């Protein structure tokens, strides 16, 4: 059981408010959609949820089985976005194993291989990421976000750079995540996530 609670979240940038006073509560097996026009702060909002950006005010609280988690929150989160970069000089498999070792979790190369097969990169697992196309990199990011089985999966523009086959895989991944924990999707394309339990609309906010 995982809970994600956002209270009175605000972020300013160059003393200009991007959004303020956003509150939402998401529980296990629920989805959250974040919408808003370009520049409305979707990426900023999901980065704050992912704990890589500190809000100007307000709180993001993650609790597991009713207990509020204080540290190592990054181990509960998987994050995919077009602006996230993987390590170019390492191979696809090394990148996944790096994720596990940095998280101080057991390094499991069979799991990594399975996951790479899942995103149809099985044949390229020993190639350096710098040789990948942008679509392949995007698919690798899904494997990268899922390798530690996070209860919260945050996707920013989930379908960018993907072909039809990739989109199918991602839909499958999103569906599985809905059964397993929390899914957060930031997108302008309403077909990405048609059914959702909660929505944050950032457009038109000060």
Partner 1 sequence: MSGKIKNRRLKQVLGLWTTAVIILALGLPMVAHPSHWGELPLIPGLEQRARIIFFHVPTAWLSVIAFLTSMWFGIRYLRKKSPDDDIKSVTHAGLGLLFCILATVTGSIWAKFNWGSFWNWDPRETSIFVLLLIYGAYFALRSAIDVEEKRATLSAVYSIIAGVIAPFFIFILPRITAGLHPGSADDVNSGPVVSSGGMNASMRVIFYSSVAAFIGMYLWMSNLRIRATRLVQAQELESRKQ
Partner 2 sequence: MEDPRKMKSFLVSTKAVFLKDWRSELRTRYALSALVMFVLTTIAIIVFAFGGESPSQEVLAGVLWVIIFFSGMSGLARTFVAEEERGTSLTLQLLSTPTAVLFGKLAFNVVLIIIVNTLAVLLFLFFFSTFRVSSVGLFVTTLALGSIGLASASTIIAAIIARANTKGSLFPVLSLPLLLPLLMTVIHATSLSSEGAFFSEGLDDFRILVSYIGAVTGVSYILFDYVWKD
Q: Which residues bind partner 2 (CB under 8 A)?
A: 47, 50-54, 71-72, 74, 77, 79, 83-90, 98-99, 101-104
Residue 72 binds which of partner 2, partner 1, none (CB < 5-8 A, kind-dependent)? partner 2
Token pair 């990739």: residue: 166
Rounded to a whole number of angstroms, the minimum distance from the CB of residue 99 to partner 2 is 6
Q: Which is nearer to partner 2, 53 or 174 (CB)?
A: 53
Nearer to partner 2, 54 or 164 (CB): 54
Residue of 206, 205, 200, 158 lying closest to 45 (CA atoms): 200
By DSSP bridging, strand 31-35 and strand 182-186 are parallel
Residues 6+ apart with CB under 8 A from 52: 79
Q: Which of 16, 195 has the CB closer to partner 2?
A: 16
**Min. distance of Cβ 24 from partner 2 in angstroms?**
21
Instruction: Please state the closest distance from residue 85 (CB atom) to partner 2, in A.
Output: 4
Look at residue 102 and give the partner it binds from partner 2, partner 1, none, a contact being a CB closer than 5 to 8 Å depending on partner kind.
partner 2
Point out which residues pair with 25 in neighbouring strands: 5
We find the least distance from the C-beta atom of residue 165 to partner 2, in angstroms, to be 25
Distance (Å, whole) CA 17 – CA 15:
6
In contact, 71 and 91? CB cutoff 8 Å? no
Residue 56 binding: pick among partner 2, partner 1, none (C-beta 5-8 Å cut-off by kind):
partner 1
For the CB of residue 168, give the shortest distance to partner 2 in the complex, in Å.
26
155 phi/psi in degrees, rounded to 5:
-120, 125
DSSP secondary structure string for all residues of 30-66:
-EEEEE--TTSSHHHHHHHHTTSS--SEEEEEEEETT
Could you give the angle at which helices 109-118 and 92-102 cross, rounded to 10 degrees?
A: 130
14's contact among partner 1, partner 2, none, with CB below 5 to 8 A by partner kind, is: partner 1
Q: Residue 196: name its binding partner from partner 2, partner 1, none (Cβ under 5 to 8 Å by kind).
A: none
Are 78 and 146 spatial neighbours (Cβ–Cβ below 8 Å)?
Answer: yes
Return residues touching partner 1 (CB under 8 A): 12-16, 56-57
Binding partner of residue 87 among partner 1, partner 2, none, CB cut-off 5 to 8 Å per kind: partner 2
């Amino acid at each position: 059981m995982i809970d994600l609670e956002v209270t009175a979240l605000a972020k300013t940038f160059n003393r200009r408010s991007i959004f303020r006073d956003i509150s939402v509560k998401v529980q296990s097996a629920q989805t959250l959609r974040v919408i808003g026009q370009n520049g409305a702060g979707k990426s900023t909002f999901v980065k704050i949820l992912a704990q890589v950006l500190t809000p100007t005010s307000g709180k993001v609280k993650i609790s597991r089985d009713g207990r509020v988690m204080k540290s190592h929150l990054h181990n509960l989160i998987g994050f995919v976005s077009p602006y996230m970069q993987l390590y170019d000089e390492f191979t696809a498999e090394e990148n996944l194993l790096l994720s596990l070792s940095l998280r101080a979790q057991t390094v499991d190369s069979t799991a990594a291989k399975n996951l790479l097969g899942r995103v149809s990169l099985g044949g390229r697992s020993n190639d350096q990421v710098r040789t990948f196309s942008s679509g392949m990199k995007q698919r690798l990011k899904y494997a990268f976000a899922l390798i530690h089985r996070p209860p919260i999966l945050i996707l920013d523009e989930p379908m960018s750079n993907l072909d039809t086959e990739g989109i199918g895989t991602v839909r499958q991944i999103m569906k599985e995540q809905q059964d397993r924990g929390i899914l957060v999707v930031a997108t302008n394309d309403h077909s990405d996530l048609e059914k959702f339990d909660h929505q944050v609309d950032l457009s038109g906010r000060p």
